[in-house]
Amino acid sequence: MNNYDVIVIGAGPAGGACAAECARSGLQVAMVEDYGFGGTCPLRGCNPKKVLTGAAEIVALAQGLTGKGLDRASTIIWEDLAKFRDEFVKGKKDKIERAYQDLGIDTYSGRARFVDNYRIRVSSEILQGSYFVLATGIKPALLSFPGHELLSTSDDFLIMNTLPGQICFIGGGFISFELASVAALAGARVSIVHRGPRVLKQFDFDLTSGLVKAMEDAGVKIHLNADLESVHRKDGQYAVNFRKNGQQSSIKADMVVHGAGRTPDVEGLNLELTGVELSSRGITVDRHMQSTSNKRFFAVGDVADTPYALTPTGDLEGKVAAANILKSGSTACDYLGVPRVVFTSPPLCAVGLLEEQALEKKITLEKVHLDMSDWFSWTHLGQRHGACKILLDKDRKVIVGAHVLGMGAEELANMFALAIRLELPVEKIKQVLLAYPTKGYYFKKMLG
């Protein structure tokens, strides 16, 4: 039996950050991974997705300038794009595993299963740890309607070598909107079926309404308040059946993608043997990323019940867990000014607080809500959609929330994240000279 100071289960950005910090501090560390070292982001998430959304963005820009100096829009050749996408994934997990091994970390491939409170089994090996860090991520939620087993996942979409002609996405979150935007700009007929009235709940309602309009203008059919009843397959095609406004409707598709939520990926871990508390949102942790029910356990990244399921916050949480393993209670997670982005065309960002969150905190708000569709840095690219909503604390004179819809929103998010995180006074920000003509130049204009 192998003994370790720390055993990290899951080798994505969160688990990797924790393992690396512990190893650099001289602890004996093991990492266990059952999918591929690197986890979702580099292998089946952020990176391959961004290759696809990058191509889609170019097509959207070309469409905006068609007839304004360009004679025709660009066309995505999916087979070639798929080969380019795969260049960023091929060999990645082996390279990442070697990097951890170079730090002195012992790596194990396979699904971990707890034998008791101190030991896990990985294949035929038993590992014993003083501390365990759970970083197993999330997986598609189990759906219960007839035909749920026929749905594909985002993983399936991100390895496709050919693009189906008709695709239906179930759910109105990140996965559905980003992949629907890519598929539509690549030439597929695309629809989204969402059971509620509001999509992308982590983002500002007014701006998500603008994004829905932009997506519909791009040809995506979005069905809100649609109760999904069943999915059937007949003659090589799917029928997605739902009820909306009391009326029965059906959509034909060649592929149906599950984007209707995710749950903690803890199946088969035998977590019940550890006494670690788990909710539908994840493992319950305190601000030190330590389990509230078993102090020898930490949880980081998407599997933890924390506000965000993002790569940067996962990295932060991994480092915070490592700091508290090394010195208990020394470091807490600070989520001030976290930026998040939906990489659609146009993209949408949210930084810091939503309007309803700011009101719950009883912040005296000054709200700047502007239409940017006629601003030069967007119109010179033929873009027709753009808006911002900036939330200012009137008492402290700082930004507490920033929300932007439009080309370049993902980069503006970083500027707002800096301002919110450092609590820069709005008066000081307005003194900064910014390059013109750029989208960043309008950063000050967005502050009113």
Half-sphere exposure of 154 (CA within 13 A, CB side): 29
Q: What amino acid is encoded at 259 in this protein?
A: G
Copy the structure tokens of residue 415. Answer: 């500027």
Percent of the chain at pLDDT above 90? 98
pLDDT value at position 393? 98
pLDDT at 446: 97
pLDDT digits (tens, 9 = 90+) for 99-148: 999 999 999 999 999 999 999 999 999 999 999 999 999 999 999 999 99
Pairing mode, strands 255-258 and 166-170: parallel
Mean pLDDT of 45-71: 96
How confident is the model over 256-286, as pLDDT tens digits?
Answer: 999 999 999 999 999 999 999 999 999 999 9
**Has residue 314 got a pLDDT over 70?**
yes
pLDDT single digits (tens) 405-431: 999 999 999 999 999 999 999 999 999
Q: Retrieve residue 379's tokens.
A: 């119109």
**Residue 419 amino acid letter:** A
Alpha carbon distance 300, 8 (integer Å): 10
Q: What residues are paired with 46 via a beta bridge?
A: none
Are 265 and 273 in contact by the 8 Å Cβ rule? The answer is: no
pLDDT tens digits along 341-365: 999 999 999 999 999 999 999 999 9
β-pair partners for 112: 122
What's the 3-state SS for the chain?
A: CEEEEEEEECCCHHHHHHHHHHHHCCCCEEEEECCCCCCHHHHHCHHHHHHHHHHHHHHHHHHHHECCCECCCCCCCHHHHHHHHHHCCCCHHHHHHHHHHHCCCEEEECCEEECCCCEEEECCEEEEEEEEEECCCEEECCCCCCCHHHCECHHHHCCCCCCCCEEEEECCCHHHHHHHHHHHHCCCEEEEECCCCCCCCCCCHHHHHHHHHHHHHCCCEEECCEEEEEEEEECCEEEEEEEECCEEEEEEECEEEECCCEEECCCCCCHHHCCCCEECCEECECCCCEECCCCCEEECHHHECCCCCCHHHHHHHHHHHHHHHHCCCCCCCCCCCCEEEECCCCCEEEEECCHHHHHHCCCCEEEEEEECCCCHHHHCCCCCCCEEEEEEECCCCEEEEEEEECCCHHHHHHHHHHHHHCCCEHHHHCCCCCCCCCCHHHHCHHHC
| Distance, CA of 26 to CA of 322 (rounded, Å) | 12
In tens, the pLDDT along 167-221 reads 999 999 999 999 999 999 999 999 999 999 999 999 999 999 999 999 999 999 9
End-to-end CA, the chain: 64
Which residue's entry shows tokens 């994240």? 417
CA 326 – CA 290 distance, rounded (Å): 13
pLDDT score of 73 = 84
Phi, psi of 95, rounded to the nearest 5 degrees: -65, -40
The per-residue pLDDT for 1 is 66
Neighbours of 359 (CB within 10 A): 13
What's the rounded mean pLDDT across residues 18-30? 98
Q: How far apart are CA 42 and CA 318, in angstroms?
A: 17
Q: How confident is the model at residue 36 (pLDDT cuts 50, 70, 90)?
A: very high
- The tens digit of pLDDT for each residue in 180-189 reads 999 999 999 9
Q: Which of 217, 315, 389, 230 has the alpha carbon at shortest distance from 12? A: 315
pLDDT of residue 72: 86
**Cβ contacts of residue 429 below 8 Å, gap of 6+?**
399, 419, 443, 444, 447
| pLDDT tens digits along 397-406 | 999 999 999 9
How far apart, in whole angstroms, are the C-alpha atoms of residue 203 and residue 361? 17
- Band the pLDDT of 5: cuts 50, 70, 90: very high
